[in-house]
Structure 1
Amino acid sequence: MQLNKLIAMRDDHRRLISRELERFDSTELTTSEYDRLLNLIMEEAEEVRMLNDKIVNHNDIEDLSSELVEGKSYSFDLELKIQRLRDNLNKRIGNKEEITSNISQDENNSGQPESDREMFAR
C-alpha cells in the first residue's frame, strides 16, 4: 500500500478518535454508553498503532526518526486519556453500585416494624 494512503488513513482514524473523545465532555452518557464508547475508542487506537507500524516499516519512509517520535507521542497521549476515562468509568460504576446498595438497604428496611428498643429509645 502507498505510504501517502497509510498516512491519510491514520490521520482519519486520529480525527475520529478526537471527535469521539469530545463526546465524553459534551454529552451526558449513561454508564453503558460511556463503556461502549471507550471500547470503540480503544479499538480505533489499535488501528492507529497498526497503521503507525506499517508506516514506520514502509520502504518509502524518508524521515523515520520524526515519524517514530510523532507516532509514539500520539500513542502515549492517547493511552493517558484512555486511562483517565477508564478511571472515571470505574468511579461511575463504583458510585452506581454504592447507590444501588443503599437503595436496596432502604427497600429492605422500609415497611418493617421498628424493634421495641428503637421505639422506646426515642
Structure 2
Amino acid sequence: MSRRADQSESLERALDGGPVPHDEDTRQMLAAAGALQPSYQRSSARVRATKDAMLREFARAQNPPETREDAGSGDGLDEPVIHREEIELPDGGHLVLTDIESITPERAEATAAHIARILESKERDRQT
C-alpha cells in the first residue's frame, strides 16, 4: 500500500475519533479539517431558554400591569423643585442659574464672578 493511502486511512480513522497519528502531514491535514468544521453548535437548552424569554416578554407587553392609584406618592420620584436665580453681569450681561439644589447667594456670586472672568478673558483675546 502506498504512503498516500496509509495517510488517507489514518486521517479517516482520526476524523472518526480514532487515535491521532504521529506523522506531521496527517496532523496538518487534521488541523485543516478542524478549521473547516463549524465550531459553533446550537445548544437546545439555550434555544429553549431564549424562546421562553421571548414568549414571557411578549406576554408582558400584551398584558401590562395595572397602574396603582397611589403610584408616585411617597416613593421619592415626585416632581423635583427647580430653583432659579437671575444675576446681572458686568457690562450688561444677564445670567440665569437653575438647579435642583437651592442656590445660595454665595454660590450665585461665585458663579457670576467665574462667568465674568471667562467673558473678560475672551474680550482680551478678541482685541489682540
Question: Which bin holds the TM-score, normalised by the shorter protein?
Answer: 0.3 to 0.5
Hey, which of these two has a bigger chunk of helix by percent? 1
User: Under a length normalisation based on structure 1, what TM-score does the superposition of the two structures give?
Assistant: 0.33
Which structure has more strand as a fraction of its residues?
A: 2
Larger radius of gyration: 2
